[in-house]
Structure 1
């Protein structure tokens, strides 16, 4: 289950993210990117972050550690930005924290080579959760200590916004033509053979159980948080078994020009010189 911490200091907003996440310090002496329940996208984006982030971790993909984060809005009283103050006031109580990766930089396919095997695992996972937000325009991936990390899964599982049509939406194919890793030639077949058998009912039940109950109450059409958790399981389980056959990809494939990692020696110094943030 997700551990719980309390925010002790609001450091700065991260304006790269549409939901205006912020960097905060917590009582465990850690630094986190906090995503707020009071943001315009609502609590369903946090539900998606938990289910998809924890599922990715269980499948061996790199995602920053997630925590439950308690927020007292009073810590933002010194923040001069009125928009940020309003967001903090609307987000008192339980929010979501994501481990901050200091010195990480945003993924750039011209600077960092991903091999077809790893690209296949990422694309297959994104197809499973219907991630529409991993394009070359907004990769939502970071390079940290030379490795590829996945962030920002709030725009996944679009079916959760209209549960009466969820079964139909979850059965749809996935167009990966615009995926940032499509030009690498992702090995989808190998990824499916490795990952699909791991997405069992038991695993999905465990992952759904990590979503805080407060974010699942009063959902139209469901009489309990448990019933809503089950709906996520029922949408993802059959999709895992068949989605590999329904991934389309029309992007031109370029042959790998180098082993996985930085494409030139001097770029390996970037993480220590140019900082970014996981939003």
Structure 2
């Protein structure tokens, strides 16, 4: 197991370098000059413009800018914005909010999605199964921003259960509705995926053997059926964690949440490439870490899987 983990960590190095290089080049290639934007409609002094570009290293070749960025990154320095604010300080305020929102959305989709999937999978072909299939298909077909505005209109404007926008991003109670909106699409996929795997495994030979032995139904479902059906669901949930953090831009915009989405959007408007690269770099690291954790969980769920 230790050798497998070490090999996976080594494989992550070229993936991380290649991904960050691609992102760095794409963001640097965006139109607009963040230094020139500091003057607004006024004509800047060419000497001041050149001095600021030299200060932020924008007068260097792209390859040298990337090497300087990676060198600072390994020291824990994500650079500074054109306004002089450290990017790490900005991310330290934005990421905890988005992580909190993402965890709440993950809990929502795991609990409700797995419950619906197991329930309908064991009653495949019934009225409840058909209803859940239609409902999840409807959720999948609805864009997140439409779903967000519908939920806000119903639960905030009509029913008055919550405020239309989040007043305090650190208040967990105010993040419940945005978390439900953020996790709804993934919940639909989890429900359909777990339903399919449960229905398939229910007809497997080991299930018939367990029932023939007279084992309690609850033990059969939990220890045999559910455990063997979770592998594809865990794969989806692991990759979905990073996707939810990156996809929280729309949800955070609808509910005015001051998280990674808002910080990334503001950085894009101001063409602050350092902030965008820093945020995306952390998201890449989260994807890589979740991928490794998922692979290790396979051996926990299925004893037949072993890593030499």
- TM-score of Structure 1 vs Structure 2, range by shorter chain: under 0.3
Q: Relative contact order (alpha carbons < 8 A, sep ≥ 6): 1 or 2 greater?
A: 2
Q: Counting strand residues as a fraction of each chain, which structure ranks higher?
A: 1
TM-score (norm 1): 0.25
Q: Counting helix residues as a fraction of each chain, which structure ranks higher?
A: 2
